[in-house]
Structure 1
């Protein structure tokens, strides 16, 4: 019997029982109050008069009225750049010891997002919450003695002046508590390897030495790693080498588009648990089975606001208009898409993280990630969000019995008739007829989105589909120096980038 595992499981069960749920709205007001108090003497806090906001009768309303929205470009241009010029107390007291590098999905160069000691601690606390939530899942005691494969970025952070830089998963892994290091794989030595392909090769070579019970990482890169392990050891599925694998903690993107291809690598079902760790913080976690929804972490250094995700509030570059209305937590509605804004213990203020979400259960404050503000296809009035695209692609998977883990789409004029079409590239290893896929995709989107249906009767002439090897998406990321770690494949491209994409595919002989 797994005695040690039984003890750990009992401690987790006890902690979950003794930890009060808390009132989310009350917690959020307290978080905001603490943020403002802590930062009131920073340059940012003085500029926006945090002292006055703290004295107001309605703290959250006053905060929303006095502090504007910021996306990365705006807050970096106006404030964060000062850190790199040696200034202190800019948007948060002192100077951040880390900067999280995030190229995101559309930027040409890496963003450098401050990560304070308070944020490192907040991420650690959120991780403990996630572990505590495992008591809600039907896991046997011996699971808690198994090792955990955390597939993130390199933990070999780069020293830049008075701070270190790396992706958030690398920063988090480099701060793993000493008591957890015995469970953590691939271990410090392999985790420091900077080159993604070299790191995965070492994981494959060492896989037989580990008893992995859980996986953690972004689905697309997790799939590549599992395929490499399977190929290296000539296996049929990953459970032949890791028979005790029972949990996969997905993160960063919706898991459903990857579900079919991911399950094909398994020998038996695993419990998928969604998490929401971004470069800006650990925002939400799944704390119960039978759902892919995640509960917002409302008491841990991050204050949330929500802007309705409507075309009139979204600029062409994915930012939001200055007059866009803000919705507070208690006023948000279920099944309505919102742009997420956060204020954090790293000195991000009313910050547009770039994701869109919807509440699936307001009583539990559970959300789903539905897409990105930049992944909103509205060139000819189609008003397509990634959420609708994902749903349509899943319908294709079911109708044609194929796996489509990746896709990209753009609206552009066709040379033959100068009309607008939506050009889709679907990544699949399965055989399918492109014209039949195009027809089915078009019909699915018409049924799901009335604006798309109207656009198809007017400015949008049709849909063109090309199926390609899914590895082309990963190679595209590699060419753009975005391979592995926290990287998410962009789903929507403008015409300029789409031209580069199609040129790349031709150079790779991926299309005729």
Structure 2
């Protein structure tokens, strides 16, 4: 055992004791955070516009601060981008996290000097809670890799901006810098395929023990490592590789293939970072769900998904939520986002402590016929049927087909890239359809009522999704394939990659 792993255990014990102080008192922590946020922003432009001086309770907050998306806050953000101070939060942001939006184009999400440390602390604490629970700390003595965006940044209004993962790279603690790969110059390579090849060359002979990133891009890294080594499994390339840290998408669709590439089952930690704030992380290898970070400068609200598009949806604080119910998550943060909908949906699996599962995107659904099928449901339907049949799936997405051929009923069209495909596609699609009906009563009613026909599966060529994303200029980094859409944009592009 090395000196770093030896020291990490008492540090982990100390940190976890601190976490436990708010972990089981999350509702009170949230009350205090809301009070603090309102007080700190009372004299900002947004605070004056929304009468923060009169807010004395959560009920007052709901009356004064509407739910907002980026477009709603854009007039304020535009002023911040121009260099004005005290607009959404006191002073100026430390950074802007640059993200891509479907309706807003490029988004500039403020990161303040108060919110930046919370991103770093949460990532650190995810690892320390793992050490405290499992006693496994050897990974800190070896090399670690974080597959991420470029750390190079530009300026707007005198404020640096870049991808969140690239910004975070500038704040990796000094004690981890010597362990961390790839090199700065490698991380700055913009072309994702060129970058992955460079990372492979740089890491293949190193003692890699922790690998972190979005699962599909980690899979690409594993594929190229294996090819470079003559077909070896990752466990035979990195003999001490023991921990996989991931976020950004549900791991389950990728788990089987990643574990097959590695050659063994491996401990994994799921994280839930966003440009708007680090929301949750997996704090136990034994318990389901991600610990909601109720003491990290974010005040959370939750809107039942079925009400989200209503004019006046129900807004709930943490203490009012119900278990196993889907909510859109709303944030107010110490970087100056107020009532901000990040577009994700979650459900709670525990209240003591508060733990969540990320179930999808509020705008990633299919309701062309009133069925409102969500990501969690399609993932369950395909993956449970595939597991039963002994099949492996690389990637998939689903879209409605509202204009079928003459004489056919409309249907949900599934575009699936298989590692191992079913021998009987018709039997398999009906099994997947049945599983979806079990999860969604509205979809079942449409099938039983002959409004829709059972879903259709379109098998895709190898690497279809990678090729499509490369053609779109969205290969790698933090880019993800939508699991389902209510339109045909992605589906029509995938038509070029059918088997």
TM range (shorter): over 0.9
SS at match of 2:411: strand
Identify the residue that residue 12 of structure 1 maps to in structure 2.
Answer: 12
* 1:95 partnered with 2:86: no
SS at match of 2:152: coil
After TM superposition, give the deviation of residue 272 of structure 1 in Å.
1.1
* 1:72 partnered with 2:70: yes
Identify the residue that residue 451 of structure 1 maps to in structure 2.
Answer: 442
Do 2:130 and 2:283's aligned partners in 1 also have CA atoms closer than 8 Å?
Answer: yes
Given candidates 330, 345, 351, the residue that maps to 1:356 is: 345
SS at match of 1:33: helix
Deviations 1:207-252 (A, max 9, x none): 2332111111111111111111111122331111111111111112
SS at match of 2:359: strand
Aligned residues: 494
* 1:488 partnered with 2:485: no
Deviations 1:88-139 (A, max 9, x none): 22211222232212226x4583322112222211112212322321233324
Identify the residue that residue 157 of structure 1 maps to in structure 2.
Answer: 153
Distance in 2 separating the partners of 1:63 and 1:228: 51
Given candidates 487, 493, 497, the residue that maps to 1:501 is: 493
Deviations 1:388-444 (A, max 9, x none): 111011112212211113211111221233631111101212232432332111111
Deviations 1:138-170 (A, max 9, x none): 243433312221111111123344122222111
- Normalised TM-score (structure 1): 0.92
SS at match of 2:97: strand
Change (3 A) 1:380 1:206: same
Distance in 2 separating the partners of 1:261 and 1:155: 29
Change (3 A) 1:115 1:479: farther
Identify the residue that residue 471 of structure 1 maps to in structure 2.
Answer: 463
Deviations 1:350-385 (A, max 9, x none): 111111000011111010000110112111122211
- Normalised TM-score (structure 2): 0.94
Structure-to-structure mapping, 1:401-420, within 5 angstroms: 401-412=390-401, 413-417=403-407, 419-420=409-410
Distance in 2 separating the partners of 1:415 and 1:18: 61
Given candidates 201, 204, 210, the residue that maps to 2:200 is: 204
Unaligned 5+ segments in structure 2 are none
After TM superposition, give the deviation of residue 339 of structure 1 in Å.
0.6
Structure-to-structure mapping, 1:380-395, within 5 angstroms: 380-395=369-384
Distance in 2 separating the partners of 1:80 and 1:368: 30
* 1:511 partnered with 2:498: yes
Identify the residue that residue 42 of structure 1 maps to in structure 2.
Answer: 44
Aligned-pair RMSD on alpha carbons?
A: 1.9
Do 2:365 and 2:486's aligned partners in 1 also have CA atoms closer than 8 Å?
Answer: no
